[in-house]
Chains A and B, each alone.
Chain A
Amino acid sequence: MEAAENRRETGGGASLPTGPGDGKQKRLGDSPSMGGFLRRAKVFLRRMLRSKSAVIGGTLILIVVLAALLAPRLAPYNPYEMQMGNRLSPPSAEHLLGTDQYGRDLLSRIIYGSIVSLQVGVIAVGFAAALGVLLGLLAGYYGGWADRLIMGLVDVFLAFPVILLAIALVAALGPSPRNVMLALGLIYWTTYARTVRSSVLAIKEEEYILAARTTGAGDMRIIFLHILPNALAPIIVMATLGLGTAIISESTLSFLGLGVQAPEASWGNTMAFGLKFLRDAPHLSIFPGLAIMLTVLGFNLLGNGIRDVTDPKLNGRF
């Protein structure tokens, strides 16, 4: 889904005119030296702090990451401790968000649920990005049959609705968080491959690449040292937005019973019980969904912020 969005959206600063040739991206200076890198990082950070979207998104993500890291300290109860006499109780002073069908504290389970959501999101996106970037670099740089084969594969993968392919893959591999990560990685690589390929096509004609080649640099050196760093900004934006999408997909699979399995705490599988007890315990559906929404919102806002800051069309507007 995020791919489609990336294709269609022209960025948060939508009022700016777009034109052909936007694929050629020069970002915050092209010098690969260390001093240049630090300078660029400083400029980048300053611009990020000025972007409302990035600051709000970053704050939301910081909260979720802290919740995951500090889960054992933050959670008021053991998320696996059952109190059968206290089942499906509504939010109260004792249990701020109420309890689930086994009398487990919902707040503690939501805090612990952030661990699996972030884990699945980060690993799935990392896997997808690594695979997609590698294949996109090869397709764009070498062209020819490698390009046709890889892009043909991309077309076939994009012919499946994402969640359908995820469901089919997880059904085949067996439901577990590990297989959810694997499945999502195997699905999301396509968007990275496409974007990286088109960046490579633009970059490889640049003069500094020709210069590198005339000095005798080999293909691998050119691809990883000269082309990749200059194709990085859209990859980072896509990965940030992709984390949100991956978290939604994980929760969807868990909701359908194909992801994280009981008794492990996950936002999606809590809501699967929420559907069963919708009348008696609406809190089981409301709060985990809220956690998902705020996390995904955080990644979306952060991703949009990074896009605005790194988008060359917006340079000079800050």
Chain B
Amino acid sequence: MAKYIFKRILQIIPVVLGITIIVFFLIRLIPGDPALALLGTDATPEELARTRARLGLDKSYLVQLALYLRDIFTLNFGESIVQHKPVMEIIGSSFPATLELAVAAIIVSLVVAVPLGVLSAVKQNSWADYVSMFFAQLGTSMPVFWIGLLLILAFSLKLQWLPSFGRGEPLAEAVGALFATGSAAPLLDSLRRLLLPAVSLGVMGAALISRMIRSTMLEVLDSDYVRTARAKGTREGKVVLKHAFRNALLPVVTTVGLQFGSLLGGAIVTETVFAWPGIGRVIVTAIFQRDFPLVQGGVICVAVAFATLNLLVDLLYAVINPKLRA
């Protein structure tokens, strides 16, 4: 077990190295001169040459790669061309917003998926099963941004219940304010602003997780030990919750973990629709402003976070799976 964990942690090193090298070549693929992008078209040839030297662009690719790797591993991503701030600072201030959105989306997914999945499995082939699986099928067929547009149309424009864009106070601070001042207003505002983006991002996860719960539950309900439990006269509710659901949780944990990772990707799009100030919106905006240091830093950070999450899911799986506990 300890050996497995150690091995799995070691495996992430080449992955992270690979990510940074791919991004290095991607950035070099971009047509145009970064020095020109930085200085603008009215720069003199001398200024351009100086900037190229400063960025290391006059050196060979191999030397550039080495310098770049040194910078990345010392977390020095350079400075944003447009905002004139260190890239790390911009990422540091926008990443928590994305994380908040992703966590909220996972909560939405679970709140929807667990009852639907269990219900579908217990009442297999009933209308409740068909209806929930129909919606699960639809949920995986809709683009995330379209769900967002529909939610804004319904709840912001028509019903005018919820705001359509922006983020309130960060949730942690809003909760802090509740305890410090006793005022619930900032927390409520934050939650109201979080709800629509979280739902639109959570739909796909809800669909996948409910299908997953249904299929594993059905498998477990069909197994010998559940039959034995029923034969012993155990109440059906207890059989479902204690015997079936608990065992169905194992693959669900993996799904939830993987889903959490892909939420980071989905968040990029959701953030654009809802003007949510997260890392996804930062990256997309930076692409259009040709702010390459920021694009590079943002992409690397999201990919490394994603890889780390996958690692954590694997480790968690190893910890809770009794078969791997030997």
Contact = CB atoms under 8 A, between A and B. Distances in A.
Nearest to B261: A161
B124, B138, B149: most-surrounded residue (chain A CB, <10 A):
B149
A162 B265 contact: yes
B18 A14 contact: no
Contact of A258 (B254, B265, B287): B287
Interface stretch (B42-50, B53-61, B171-179, B212-220): B212-220
B269 A278 contact: no
Contact of B146 (A17, A155, A289): A289
A155 B18 contact: yes
Contacts of A286: 149-150, 153
Interface in B208-228: 208, 211-212, 214-215, 218-219, 222-223
Contacts of B283: 164, 167
Contact of A296 (B18, B30, B141, B157): B141
A126 interface: no
Interface stretch (B21-29, B191-199, B236-244): B21-29
Contacts of B14: 152, 155-156
A258 to B, nearest CB: 7
A159 B272 contact: no
Nearest to B12: A159
Interface stretch (A41-49, A79-87, A136-144, A169-177): A169-177
A161, A163, A172: most-surrounded residue (chain B CB, <10 A):
A161
Interface in A4-54: 4-5, 8-11, 14-18
Contacts of A164: 264-265, 268, 283, 299, 302-303, 306
Which DSSP category, helix, strand, loop or mixed, fits chain A's interface?
helix
A248 B262 CA distance: 14
A162 B262 contact: yes
Nearest to A300: B141
B307 A257 contact: no
Contact of A292 (B143, B266, B307): B143
Interface residues of A, number: 56
Interface string B299-321: 10011001100100000000000
Nearest to A253: B269
B119 interface: no
B116 interface: no
A236 interface: no
A188 interface: no
A125 interface: no
B150 A163 contact: no
Nearest to B310: A159
A252 B287 contact: no
Interface string B273-297: 1000000000110011000000100
7 contacts: A17-B222, A155-B14, A160-B22, A161-B265, A164-B303, A285-B146, A297-B141
Interface of A: 1, 4-5, 8-11, 14-18, 152-153, 155-157, 159-165, 167-169, 171-174, 244, 248, 251-252, 255-258, 268, 271, 274-275, 278-279, 282, 285-286, 289, 292-294, 296-297, 300-301
Closest 8 CB pairs of A and B: A161-B265, A156-B18, A14-B215, A289-B146, A297-B141, A159-B307, A296-B141, A172-B29
